[in-house]
Amino acid sequence: MADLNVADLHGSLTDRALNSMNFLNEVANHYPDAISLAAGRPYEEFYALEDLHGYLDTFGQYLREELGYDEAGVRRTIFQYGRTKGIIHPLIARNLVADEGITVDPDAVVVTVGCQEAMVLVLRALRAAPADVLLAVSPAYVGITGAARLVDLPVLPVAGGNGGVDLDDLVAVVKRARAEGLRPRACYVMPDFANPSGLSLDLETRQRLLALAASEDLLLLEDNPYGLFPAAGVERLPTLKALDTERRVIYLGSFAKTALPGARVGYVVADQTVASPDGSEGLLADELSKIKSMLTVNTSAVAQAIIGGKLLQNDCSLVAASTRERKIYAENLQAITDGLAARFPAGEVSWTVPSGGFFVVVTVPFLVDDALLEKSAHEYGVLWTPMHHFYDGDAPIHALRLSCSSVTPAQIEVGLDRLAALIKDHL
Amino acid sequence: MADLNVADLHGSLTDRALNSMNFLNEVANHYPDAISLAAGRPYEEFYALEDLHGYLDTFGQYLREELGYDEAGVRRTIFQYGRTKGIIHPLIARNLVADEGITVDPDAVVVTVGCQEAMVLVLRALRAAPADVLLAVSPAYVGITGAARLVDLPVLPVAGGNGGVDLDDLVAVVKRARAEGLRPRACYVMPDFANPSGLSLDLETRQRLLALAASEDLLLLEDNPYGLFPAAGVERLPTLKALDTERRVIYLGSFAKTALPGARVGYVVADQTVASPDGSEGLLADELSKIKSMLTVNTSAVAQAIIGGKLLQNDCSLVAASTRERKIYAENLQAITDGLAARFPAGEVSWTVPSGGFFVVVTVPFLVDDALLEKSAHEYGVLWTPMHHFYDGDAPIHALRLSCSSVTPAQIEVGLDRLAALIKDHL
């Protein structure tokens, strides 16, 4: 007899959201020789071990020369326990000015163990009572759904439509939820080159979304892992946070795609004011910091030093630092959409043509389930992601996601040939 | 008007547990020149920046030579997203054999963002319903109480007594809880040189506690951050996990005190079997891994490489690696208890004489509250920790905790002089 039964453990453990990631990883591990148009990991050819040494040294130099630390102070900062909200917040604030035109008080920044911890901190803070719910533009990144499950926060889907978010549906969902006695706390949205849809909000939609957040008294959780990667010839648009004049936006940042995932450093900008019973007022960032102190104590100082060093070596601009990667992503994205056009001229299959990011969604006239993925991996040697993993319900989904981020143009061609064979065999 | 009200945020944010740490840090930051007999941080004089480079290189070499990775594989392992359960699990398993005589399947190890995340993973998994409760030996490390708050898990105190845990009280608490319809899931205990009590369980108590866990069908959460630091002449005892033949013990490990806190690497050994509804059986570690995938995705590979490198450079023994620190802690502990004896010969004040670890508890014949700490910092120039922070209730506590870990013998003498002046002024 087993020591424990999963039925006696937290409900999230049998939830689809927490098992999706596991299943997809398992398929990938089981078919290591398949071409992966599934993995959203960043391009890795430019990583170099000696850079880590350089980043650490650069950060040490910054502590010495810019902050005036003595050697004991430098060692203490990198080796010891440290500030819960992190130690690279001034560099993140500079990065936000340089790359996003966002001006924030560094004290409103909480450095986190990747963007995932940032989501958990925010959702944990906002989930105060069983009536609280989160809205999320659908299809949604599975990490936000999973984070919500961990804090027992239901997620209500908002239609993404063709423009990245259907604002009429957003209002309808809010009104329906309130009529049912629920309290919508925030709406999660990825306005730039979203995962998985690839869609982006145009400027007018951004402004209308902000106005709506104000009129409906909602917070917006803006997640922006892909914003630096526009397609060729596409102008980047201002983030919601850059347009936010009323502190409606909690901004979730990631260095996984712009620096390196192995540091596991992300952050949240939470400049909202919070009133305490004693009449004092603080920042939401400080409330998140209290939660963080009991979740991970603080983000690894060594990992922060790596990211801090990379920022410092590039005048805090990751646009400048990722010139090579940006070119590769734009070319690969083009190669995927061109490759699909060449292989499917007839119209039985359709796909998105994103203005940037890593992902193309392909819609086919048959069900795309996990069994089909396994078959694709086993018989055709190509991996992709069934889109149903990004929807909360059980509705059958006829679409799959392709990623362009960690493959070569040659692999894209072979991968698309194999995918085309699979699709043609199922038409 | 503020954007948000703390009353609309999660209840943990107004809870004492989450505010204790903040308050204590604030006092410490406000009086940087006070001698700190409060901080439990490790001794830092032996930290050297160049060691970080060495650790990274050693880990890279291990990947190449022992695991046979090519250069691309080495870079991928350190820079990319990685295995949710971590990449240094085989080295942790070797460390447990070398330093603790514990043999575990490396697959039962989840590498975490410090021991704090390990606690959250375990408590999140175990808290399935509102009737679930955690038992914790009192006084308890505030991190376990805080972690429990984050997952809405009530904590029932079990008396620590003079032997580290009062087993009769443990049984009584379990029975009372069950009679009230509650479901005790586990009991948290630090058997070796506990924070804050300094107490250790003797061998017989360890064996009786394990037998009791079996007869009462409880899990034991064994936290062992200080086990490597016995007082001079003290023999280390086997951990509960080393004595555990029935997988009753979930073992929480930390590298903060034995390697460095700045990596934020800890781990949990969860070798319990878990039955799924489909009849399959897995490891609790794999359930914790699912939660981790939505909390922090994985522990920083760079941080793991630092700890892995340090382990490899010391044949995976941190006993061997911390010879200098172990001597300092033992001498400092002795200096504190000797210093107290020299200053308080008359018996108005009493203190523990721990067999190891960082902490001495001093009991005085007056209330020790936060106001007294502020006065001590401001007027006497010495910091310590009011023991009430480690109790869950509101009962007045007449004791304070002294830490020996990050001070010199000279600072201990001055600090104790100042503490003695404070105490004598209040007698």
Sequence ranges of the domains in chain B: 10-39+322-426, 71-318
Q: Is the peptide bond before B139 cis (omega within 30 degrees of 0)?
A: yes
- Calculate mean pLDDT across residues B18-46: 91
**Minimal C-alpha gap between A347 and chain B (Å):** 37
Minimum Cα–Cα distance from A146: chain B residue: B294
pLDDT in tens, B384-409: 999 999 998 888 999 999 999 999 99
Contacts of A52 in chain B (CB under 8 A): 56, 78, 302
Give the nearest partner residue to A303 out of B10, B127, B302, using CB atoms: B302
Q: Is the confidence at residue B416, as pLDDT, over 80? A: yes
pLDDT over 90 (residue A274): yes
Query: Which residues from A are below 8 Å from B74, CB to CB?
Result: 49
pLDDT interval class at A20 (50, 70, 90): confident
pLDDT of residue A26: 87
- Please give, rounded to a whole number of angstroms, the shortest distance from the CA of B343 to a CA of chain A: 32
Cβ burial B283-322 (10 Å sphere, 16+ → b, else e): bbbbbbbbbbbbbbbbbbbbbbbbbbbbbbebebbbbebb
The pLDDT-based confidence of A301 (bands split at 50, 70, 90) is very high
Contacts of A153 (CB under 8 A, 6+ apart): A123, A126, A127, A132, A133, A134, A185
Residues on chain B touching A299 (C-beta within 8 angstroms): 264
B 81-120: CB under 8 A from A:
81-82, 84, 113-114, 116-117, 120
- Would you place residue B26 in the very low, low, confident or very high pLDDT band (cuts 50, 70, 90)? confident
Q: What is the topology classification, in CATH, of domain A9-38+322-426?
A: Aspartate Aminotransferase, domain 1 (3.90.1150)
pLDDT at A282 over 90: yes
**pLDDT bracket for residue A120 (50, 70, 90):** very high
Rounded mean pLDDT, A349-370 = 97
A chain contacts of residue B5, beta-carbon cutoff 8 Å: 274-275
Q: Which residues of B touch A12 (CB under 8 A)?
A: 124, 290-291, 294
Model confidence, pTM = 0.98
Task: Please check the confidence at residue A315 and state whether its pLDDT lies above 80.
Answer: yes
| Percent of chain B at pLDDT exceeding 90 | 93
A68: alpha, beta or left, given left = phi > 0 and alpha = psi -120 to 50? left
Sign of CA dihedral A227, A229, A232, A233: positive
Percent of chain B with pLDDT over 70: 100
Q: What is the mean pLDDT of residues A76-83?
A: 96
Minimal-distance CA residue of chain B relative to A21: B293
CATH of the structural domain B71-318, one choice from 1.10.357.10, 3.40.640.10, 2.40.37.20, 1.25.40.10? 3.40.640.10
pLDDT above 80: residue A1: no
CATH topology classification for B10-39+322-426: Aspartate Aminotransferase, domain 1 (3.90.1150)
Residue-wise pLDDT for A234-268, tens only, equals 999 999 999 999 999 999 999 999 999 999 999 99
Q: How would residue A177 be classed by pLDDT, with cut points 50, 70 and 90?
A: very high
Q: Where are any strands of DSSP class E within A196-307?
A: 219-223, 249-254, 266-269, 273-275, 281-283
Nearest-CA distance A312 → chain B (Å): 18
Arithmetic mean of pLDDT, A97-118:
98
B256-293 pLDDT, tens digit each: 999 999 999 999 999 999 999 888 999 999 999 999 99
pLDDT tens column, B203-235: 999 999 999 999 999 999 999 999 999 999 999
- For the stretch B294-324, pLDDT in tens is 999 999 999 999 999 999 999 999 999 999 9
CATH architecture of A57-320: 3-Layer(aba) Sandwich (3.40)
The string of DSSP letters for A44-69 reads -TT--HHHHHHHHHHHHHHHHHTS--
Fold equal for A9-38+322-426 and A57-320: no
- A67–chain B Cβ distance below 8 A for any pair: no
